[in-house]
């Protein structure tokens, strides 16, 4: 099949959305609880009715993760790929006003604290660097919405890093968020290229992680907590030698874990992509079955794997189910707009 940038971009957005929807019913469960509750590992879209975090959702419906990703992608397209802090802030406010089902229900520990202040027109740079609460500025929201920052910079790792950092500023102005978001954005930018391999995508994630950290050390709030890069290396080492995806999931569960912090979430997302050898379905199913913040890690890992595989590789029956459950997310239109950049 011939290479198509638009196909790769759409693949990233769709796989991310599917990962979010696949992981929504399993969020907060441990890996063993997932097996017990669903009678084994999740292998398809499940009804989320038993999960209190997504009460009212239907099967294959997304949460805050993919809906924020969609709104930021629209902002990237609207700015011609030259995302600004102000445009990011407007996109976040627009998300809170456009998805009453997800906001405030699903807003994370960072975004939930800044929405009202952004609406009031307060300085987004100051807001993003405000601490005082556990998890503020270091939660994984900066990575879960970052897809378009890499998608508008195919092959340009530095551009992907810089755009990702801009998207962090209004909410996640910490060195950890800069590092984690930059790692995912750079991985996506590399995954879009025709010559990409699993190895070069992982290398790009490491590059972005380090560069984001270095910029964050100079410009961002120095938040507490472990740094993203050492955890990323640990996660990648944890899946080395795994005989299959189940073994990789077990190793990540035991050695890294996946809560709402950006450091382990990003580390697990990249490691899942590596363990799946880039396969989009294995990648998002791995995230949905890992335990913890499953919808977010599956969404982030899906961004990378979808960019690597492309939309043409996506299971079209799954896509029809997903699209019917999420009529507000016109991912085809946004993919076309991003490709046109």
Q: Is 63 annotated as a binding residue?
A: yes
Q: Quick one: CA torsion of 309, 79, 269, 64, rounded to 10 degrees?
A: -110
Strand partners, 139: 261
What is the reported pTM? Answer: 0.98
The count of structural domains within the chain is: 1
The one-character DSSP state at 220 is S
CA quadruple 97, 332, 51, 107: dihedral sign: negative
The distance in angstroms from the start CA to the end CA of the chain is 23
- The domain in which residue 271 lies consists of 5-340
In whole angstroms, give the CA distance from residue 51 to residue 225: 29
Q: What is the pLDDT of residue 2?
A: 87
Of 110, 257, 132, 234, nearest to 181 by C-alpha is: 110
| Spatial distance between the Cα atoms of 269 and 111, rounded to a whole number of angstroms | 21
Question: What's the residue count for the chain?
Answer: 341
- Residue 293 annotated in ligand binding: yes
Q: What is the pLDDT of residue 1?
A: 64
Identify how many contiguous H helices and E strands the chain contains and give both numbers.
Answer: 18, 0
Helix-, strand-, coil-residue percentages of the chain, each rounded to 5: 65, 0, 35
- Cβ proximity of 177 and 228 under 8 Å: no
321 is in an annotated binding site: no
Say if residue 123 carries a ligand binding annotation.
no
Q: What is the CATH number of the domain that holds 41?
A: 1.10.4080.10
* Exposure string for 141-177, b = 16+ CB within 10 A, e = fewer: bbbbbbbbbbbbbbebbebbbbbbbbbbbbbbbbbbb
Q: Is residue 65 part of an annotated ligand binding site? A: yes
Tens of pLDDT along the chain (341 residues) come to 689 999 999 999 999 999 999 999 999 999 999 999 999 999 999 999 999 999 999 999 999 999 999 999 999 999 999 999 999 999 999 999 999 999 988 888 898 899 999 999 999 999 999 999 999 999 999 999 999 999 999 999 999 999 999 999 999 999 999 999 999 999 999 999 999 999 999 999 999 999 999 999 999 999 999 999 999 999 999 999 899 999 999 999 999 999 999 999 999 999 999 999 999 999 999 999 999 999 999 999 999 999 999 999 999 999 999 999 999 999 999 999 999 99
Quote the DSSP letter at residue 164.
Answer: H
Whether 296 has a binding-site annotation, put simply, is yes
Give the DSSP letter of residue 312: G
| C-alpha span between 3 and 219 (Å, rounded) | 38
Q: What beta strand segments (E) does 59-186 contain?
A: none
């Amino acid at each position: 099949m011939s290479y198509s940038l638009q196909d790769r971009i759409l693949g990233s957005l769709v796989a991310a959305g599917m990962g979010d929807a696949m992981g929504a019913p399993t969020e907060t469960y441990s890996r063993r609880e997932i097996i017990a509750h669903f009678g084994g590992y999740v292998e398809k879209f499940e009804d989320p009715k038993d999960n209190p975090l997504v009460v009212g959702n239907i099967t294959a419906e997304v949460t805050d993760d993919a809906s924020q990703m969609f709104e930021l992608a629209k902002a990237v397209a609207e700015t011609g790929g030259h995302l600004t802090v102000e445009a990011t802030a407007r996109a976040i406010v627009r998300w809170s006003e456009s998805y009453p089902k997800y906001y405030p229900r699903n807003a994370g520990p960072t975004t939930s604290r800044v929405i009202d202040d952004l609406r009031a027109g307060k300085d987004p740079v100051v807001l993003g660097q405000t601490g005082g609460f556990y998890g503020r500025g270091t939660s994984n929201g900066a990575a879960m919405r970052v897809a378009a920052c890499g998608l508008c910079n195919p092959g340009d790792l530095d551009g992907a890093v810089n755009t990702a950092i801009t998207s962090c500023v209004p909410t996640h102005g910490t060195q950890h968020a800069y590092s984690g978001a930059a790692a995912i954005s750079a991985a996506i930018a590399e995954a879009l290229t025709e010559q990409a391999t699993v190895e070069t995508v992982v290398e790009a994630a490491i590059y972005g992680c380090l560069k984001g950290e270095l910029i964050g050390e100079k410009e961002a709030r120095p938040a507490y907590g472990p740094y993203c890069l050492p955890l990323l290396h640990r996660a990648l080492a944890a899946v080395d030698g795994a005989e299959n995806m189940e073994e990789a999931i077990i190793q990540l569960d035991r050695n890294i874990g996946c809560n709402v912090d950006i450091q382990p979430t990003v580390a697990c997302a990249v490691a899942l992509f590596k363990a799946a050898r880039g396969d989009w379905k294995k990648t998002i199913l791995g995230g949905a079955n890992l335990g913890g913040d499953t919808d977010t890690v599956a969404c982030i890992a899906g961004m990378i794997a979808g960019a690597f595989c492309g939309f043409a590789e996506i299971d079209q029956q799954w896509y029809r189910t997903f699209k019917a459950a999420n009529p507000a997310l016109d991912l085809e239109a946004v993919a076309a707009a991003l490709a046109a950049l």
